[in-house]
Amino acid sequence: MGRQVRLFYPPLRIVSLVPSQTELLFDLGLRKQIVGVTKFCIYPEYARHKAQVIGGTKNFDFVKIKATQPDLVIGNKEENYAEGITELSKSYPVWMSNITDLGEALDMIRRIGQLTGTPHRANPLTAEIGNSFTALGTPAPLIPAAYFIWRKPFMVAASGTFIDDMLRRAGFANVFAHLERYPEVTPERLAQAAPARIFLSSEPYPFKEKHVAELQEICPAAQVQLVDGELFSWYGSRLRLSAAYFQTLRAIPGAK
């Protein structure tokens, strides 16, 4: 992101502003160093009990962050908000990731390993994830698909997103790849795009079985199914599970 960050090394008091990176920090063995997490940091399950909850990803509680006395804050360009990051940067070293594909995710894991003095854990982790996706391969031809992240209004993941890269690696061609980021789509536009598969993500909107029929009515010929959004959009250590999950989506119609 073109930002220069100076900090005392290794950091001893870390605030994490992103759930997937929080999980990564714990998996790198940094439990004692993590002093602040967001209310959305649900992995590991004890994260919000071990560390101070400092608000959400887009509404920081600056008083609580100050109380943790961090010597490093770790965030992400998409998941956090610019005004909050700018304010934090006045007082603390703030390291930011910017991730749109698997390569950038693996680079982030390596960099955080270097930043926190844990390359001996981060490097094998990146190798494990990279090897799992290499083994997965990419089938041809790709299956036309749409990936929904929101309802009322309907919103999908399009180009320039990590989800779009994951879809392609999973074996699916994003029918909205000609659009950018997370556009709204009308039922008419969805019907015109004619995806063979429609994925309803478990996050950020919590799609349930009752929503499948709603999309099925719009695209009667499509296979509509719920999918684990964490395995499509979390770009930390949870990626260890993604390639195997994508294989089941290819092999078993209707898998969740």
Q: What CATH number is associated with residue 187?
A: 3.40.50.1980
Structural domain includes residue 42: yes
Structural domain includes residue 22: yes
Of the candidates 235, 233, 231, 229, the residue with the CA atom closest to the CA atom of residue 112: 235
Give SS3 for 153: coil
Residues 119-136 pLDDT 10s: 999 999 999 999 999 999
Residues 91 and 149 in one domain: no
Structural domain includes residue 104: no
pLDDT of 254 > 60? The answer is no
For the segment 41-64, the average pLDDT, to the nearest whole number, is 95
Indicate yes or no: pTM above 0.75: yes
**For residue 243, which amino acid is it?**
A
For the segment 148-153, the average pLDDT, to the nearest whole number, is 96
Domain coverage including residue 51? 14-98
Q: pLDDT-based confidence at 155, cuts 50/70/90?
A: very high
DSSP 93-129: -EEEE--SSHHHHHHHHHHHHHHHT-HHHHHHHHHHH
The pLDDT value given to residue 250: 84
Structural domain includes residue 87: yes
Residues 157 and 91 in one domain: no
Q: pLDDT-based confidence at 253, cuts 50/70/90?
A: low
Beta-carbon contacts of 175 under 8 Å, excluding residues fewer than 6 positions away, are 144, 145, 146, 193, 194, 195
C-alpha 26/C-alpha 33 separation (Å) is: 9
Of the candidates 107, 44, 104, 34, the residue with the CA atom closest to the CA atom of residue 73: 34
For the segment 191-219, the average pLDDT, to the nearest whole number, is 94
pLDDT of 4 > 80? The answer is yes
DSSP 211-233: HHHHHHHH-TTSEEEEE-THHHH
Q: pLDDT-based confidence at 213, cuts 50/70/90?
A: very high
Per-residue exposure over 69-95, b if at least 16 CB sit within 10 Å of its own CB, e if not: ebbbbbbbebbbbeebbeebeeebbbb
The helix (run of H) or strand (run of E) holding residue 147 is strand 143-150
Residues 150 and 50 in one domain: no
Structural domain includes residue 148: yes
Residues 155 and 230 in one domain: yes
Residues 66-87 pLDDT 10s: 999 999 999 999 999 999 999 9
C-alpha 62/C-alpha 84 separation (Å) is: 9
Domain boundary among 98, 126, 152: 98
Least confident of 3-12, 146-155, 193-202, 210-219: 3-12
For the segment 39-68, the average pLDDT, to the nearest whole number, is 96
Residues 37-49 pLDDT 10s: 999 999 999 999 9
Residues 228-241 pLDDT 10s: 999 999 999 999 99
Residues 165 and 76 in one domain: no
Of the candidates 5, 47, 57, the residue with the CA atom closest to the CA atom of residue 22: 47
Domain boundary among 48, 66, 98: 98
Residues 223 and 150 in one domain: yes
Structural domain includes residue 109: no
Structural domain includes residue 68: yes
Residues 72 and 152 in one domain: no
The pLDDT value given to residue 255: 44
Of the candidates 250, 236, 227, 247, the residue with the CA atom closest to the CA atom of residue 129: 236
Residues 178 and 244 in one domain: yes
The pLDDT value given to residue 256: 45
Residues 89 and 151 in one domain: no
Q: pLDDT-based confidence at 169, cuts 50/70/90?
A: very high
Structural domain includes residue 40: yes
Q: pLDDT-based confidence at 252, cuts 50/70/90?
A: low
Q: What percent of the chain has pLDDT over 90?
A: 91
pLDDT of 56 > 50? The answer is yes
| Ramachandran angles phi, psi of 146, nearest 5° | -125, 140
Residues 149 and 80 in one domain: no
Residues 73 and 148 in one domain: no
Question: How many domains is the chain built from?
Answer: 2
Residues 87 and 145 in one domain: no
